[in-house]
Amino acid sequence: MSSLTQSRQPGWPGTTSLVLDEPLLWEKAKPGRVGASLPESDVPPAPLEEGLTRSDLRLPDLGELDVVRHYTRLSTWNFGVDTGSYPLGSCTMKYNPKLNEKLAALPGFAGAHPLLPTELSQGALRVLYETEQMLCAVTGLEACCLQPSAGAHGELTGIMLIQAWHRAQGNRRTKMLIPDTAHGTNPASSALCGYTAVKVPSGPDGILTVEAVAELMDDDCAGIMVTNPNTLGLFESNFKAIAELVHARGGLVYGDGANLNAVMGYAHMGRIGVDVMHMNLHKTFSTPHGGGGPGSGPICVSRTLVPFLPGPRLVERNGILEWDASAAPQSIGRLHPFWGQFGVILRAWAYMHTLGADLKRASELAVLNANYVKARLRDVFDLPFPQASLHECVFTDKKQEDFNVSTMDVAKRLIDCGFHPPTIYFPLVVHGAIMIEPTESESLEELDAFIEAMRSIAELAETNPSVLHDAPVRTKVRRVDEVTAARKPVLTGDM
């Protein structure tokens, strides 16, 4: 196949077009330029104390037009889910309905202040209350707390609840079991609560075995953190038996709900033994995410952990919603001021109200799309776990290694084809991993275009691997030294 630099492949979004160059702000700056007109100060100047000023801080002098054009031009270099497919495994970068964005921007919600009295906040409180009820219905658990600000914050909260329960029982346990297919933040969340993370190896088919857990679950283990579906895209089919084992030995079960998008309406977390679970509203329930936020990581808990939930709790009395300020001696206390990431929660409320029972359909389509991609690519990329997947599938570069082509080369070439690369080199239990999550958002035509791009890369690996080593060639910036960039970042204008 000829190089993409020669012609555009029909069906692929990648092409060439007007790409505006843009220098650094320091290069655009001219002394004396300003972009703001401020009124004269009506108070006399006062010198700052010594040590409060910086002489080494060099900021560029820019006019308003310089700033507007600079950031507008940079925005044309961006790629997002509104631009094209974003198949990041374990990240669920799916399209989110713009209606939910519109609702979140309504003045009555966007301008609401959290210190308003409850009688003036019934609409906002109703959103919070109904979101808690819906998340309990989705998970099958007893109660919900919306305070955690992100997924890792939800993880931390869940482990704090487990720790509080153990203390109430007089237990002094010091370890937490964490499978090798768990999300990477799980060990950190347990460590922040003082637990030592103990790795549980997955079985040959990529899921946990009861025997592996039984060997490690002793009287010093507080419980287990399980990502289900796991980071291989596989459902932990032994989950219930493992939960029963952990409970029998005095531990509790934390369920990482970051991959909930695959099992909504199918997995009843309470019945399979989950004691506490976090959900990522910014992944599963319609808030755009990436670049650090925004996020929201509510938790749902079983009856066992309800007394330890952060407070205050929202209750309804005679049709009026209010915060229950009654004493909760076992509560772990507030996680942060106020009640949670309200704008993110509002979007999730709208998403769940819109879909209702069709949340189950969303999971069905996510699973269907992932397995379609898996079936269409399994003959050209190595598939370490060939059984049916859920929301994502994991390939490797094993077949391409013979031609000196790596996973990184595959990812970089996809950029030239017009697709954002999938997650690479994760999960760590798979060498050269290529993790693809198409989500339920993508159409058959979009999936076919992505598949054909991947197949063309596999062909180039055999016939012309040097093209892959040079990729990407159509981007504003060509392949960079990512190791040096990460270890020696340049954060100022002094190059």
* pLDDT, position 17: 65
Would you place residue 493 in the very low, low, confident or very high pLDDT band (cuts 50, 70, 90)? low
Mean pLDDT of 197-225: 97
pLDDT at 55 over 80: no
More confident residue, 135 or 38: 135
By percentage, how much of the chain surpasses pLDDT 70? 96
Are 124 and 323 in contact, with CB atoms under 8 Å apart? no
> Among residues 137, 157, 141, which one has the least CA distance to residue 149?
157
Cβ–Cβ under 8 Å, residues 166 and 222:
yes
- Give the end of a domain, one of 316, 332, 357: 357
| pLDDT per residue as tens digits for the range 88-98 | 988 888 888 99
From CA 113, how far away is CA 153, in angstroms rounded?
Answer: 23
Residue 1 clears pLDDT 50, i.e. is over it: no
Q: Are residues 194 and 261 in the same domain?
A: yes
Give yes or no for residue 3 having a pLDDT over 50.
Answer: no
* Residue 70 within a domain: no
pLDDT digits (tens, 9 = 90+) for 109-166: 999 998 999 999 999 999 999 999 999 999 999 999 999 998 999 999 999 999 999 9
Tens digits of per-residue pLDDT, 161-186?
999 999 999 999 999 999 999 988 99
**Chain centre distance of CA 22:** 31
pLDDT category at 6 given cuts 50, 70, 90 is very low
Query: Domain range for residue 139?
Result: 100-357
| 10 band by pLDDT with thresholds 50, 70 and 90 | low
**Per-residue tokens: 257:** 């709900």
Residue 183 sits in the same domain as residue 275 = yes
Average pLDDT of the chain to the nearest whole number: 91
Q: Specify the pLDDT at position 287.
A: 83
Tell me, yes or no, whether 278 and 412 share the same domain.
no
Q: Can you give the pLDDT at residue 441?
A: 92
Average of per-residue pLDDT across 378-404? 96
Residue whose tokens read 């009124």 = 39
- Angle between helix axes 185-192 and 151-168 (nearest 10 degrees) is 40
pLDDT single digits (tens) 337-379: 888 899 999 999 999 999 999 999 999 999 999 999 999 999 9
pLDDT in tens, 236-277: 999 999 999 999 999 999 999 999 999 999 999 999 999 999
Single-letter residue type at 164: A
The CATH number assigned to the domain holding 465 equals 3.90.1150.10
- Whether residue 66 lies inside any domain: the answer is no
Average pLDDT over residues 306-331: 92
| 399 plus 352 within the same structural domain | no
pLDDT(211) > 90: yes
How high is the pLDDT of residue 4? 46
Measured over the CA atoms of residue 475, residue 80, residue 291 and residue 371, the dihedral's sign is negative
Give the domain CATH number at 120: 3.40.640.10
d(CA 29, CA 23): 10
Whether 164 is in a domain gets the answer yes
Is residue 11 in some structural domain?
no
Q: What is 47-90 written as a DSSP string?
A: PPPTTS--SS-------HHHHHHHHHHHHTT---TTTS---BTT
* pLDDT of amino acid 494: 59
Query: Is 288's pLDDT higher than 80?
Result: no
In a domain, 401, yes or no: yes
Q: Is residue 45 part of a domain?
A: no
The tally of domains found in the chain comes to 2
The answer to whether residue 483 sits within a structural domain is no
Residue 495: predicted pLDDT: 54
Instruction: Please check whether residues 394 and 329 belong to one and the same domain.
Output: no
Is 59 within a domain?
no
Q: Are residues 232 and 120 in the same domain?
A: yes
Out of 50-54, 307-311, 450-454, which region has the weakest mean confidence (pLDDT)? Answer: 50-54
Tokens of 211: 């025997």
pLDDT for 289 beyond 80: no
The verdict on 164 and 279 lying in the same domain is yes
Compute the distance between CA of residue 154 and CA of residue 277 in angstroms, rounded to an integer.
Answer: 8
Please indicate, yes or no, whether residues 139 and 229 belong to a single structural domain of this protein. Answer: yes
Backbone angles phi, psi at 445, to 5 degrees: -65, -40
Q: What is the mean pLDDT of residues 70-88?
A: 88
pLDDT band at 325 (very low <50, low <70, confident <90, very high): confident
In 3D, which of 137, 142, 160, 156 has the Cα closest to residue 274? 142
Structure confidence at residue 490 (pLDDT): 81
Do 387 and 235 meet the contact criterion of CB atoms below 8 Å apart? no
297 and 435 together in one domain? no
* pLDDT confidence of residue 454: 97
Provide the pLDDT for residue 326: 81
* Residue 404 sits in the same domain as residue 259: no
* Domain-ending residue, one of 357, 389, 407: 357
Same domain, 203 and 106: yes
Closest CA to 225 of 204, 198, 264: 198
pLDDT band at 290 (very low <50, low <70, confident <90, very high): low
> Same domain for 305 and 389?
no
